[in-house]
Amino acid sequence: MANILVAEDNKNANKLICTVLRRQGHEAISAYDGREALDAFDEHHVDLLIADVMMPRMDGMELVRRLRDADYDLPILMLTAKSAQEDKNAGLMAGADDYLTKPANMQELVLRVRSLLRRAGVRDERRLEVGRVVLDADALAVVRGTEEVRLPPKEFRLLQFLLQSPGRTYTRMQLLDEIWGWDTESAERTVDVHVNRLRTRFAGWEEFSIETIRGLGYRAVVPGE
């Protein structure tokens, strides 16, 4: 799992990119202009930066120059609404590692991020360990010893998301936003159905459980945490 800073002044685009990154198991940090993005480096460890070129207060080009001048060597993916080669070259000369033309295709963005993290030696976390239990995102499988339970994608991501922060309560709307996407037409009842399926599949597993917080939502419970 990587910490990825998304510097994009369009709030809808920023939210969409962050949602997609979180579905991949990453932590996403939002910034809405270059100065806010620069300040974020004082508060967070950042493994990768996604920066729009056109932003208020400080644009993406200046943000990248300042980071490189300060010897930050993290991978940087630039988003540009301009398709001219000279604009892309300018971003690379400023210190960016790759670029993507807006509107960005989310599947391509995920692949670019994965490639940049791999080249930078940052681990793209695809396995989550909870005691003896291992969640394998590549196989969509939950493994305990010789037992293996393969899950549909949404069930796996829901379980993974809850177990990444045991003890933290999420509302149904938050879970819909994270797992199904902010623009989903699914109802909150969809979350209840998937939680019930997970409870049935893992009934008797003492390593974790999913608890209902009445009037709020759900949280994962891991003994000892």
Which domains does the chain possess? Answer: 3-120 (3.40.50.2300), 127-221 (1.10.10.10)
Computed over its alpha carbons, how large is the radius of gyration of the chain? 19
Tell me, what amino acid is at 108? E
Q: Which range has the worst mean pLDDT, 4-13, 82-91, 151-160?
A: 82-91
Q: What is the pLDDT of residue 51?
A: 94
Q: What is the pLDDT of residue 82?
A: 67
Q: Which two tokens stand for residue 162?
A: 């809850």
Q: What is the pLDDT of residue 203?
A: 94
**Entry pTM:** 0.56
- Looking at residues 152-178, what average pLDDT do you find? 89
What is the distance of C-alpha 16 from the center of its chain?
Answer: 10
In angstroms, the CA 6 to CA 32 distance is 8
Mean pLDDT score of the chain, rounded to an integer?
A: 87
- Looking at residues 208-220, what average pLDDT do you find? 94
For residue 30, pLDDT beyond 80: yes
For residue 123, pLDDT beyond 70: no
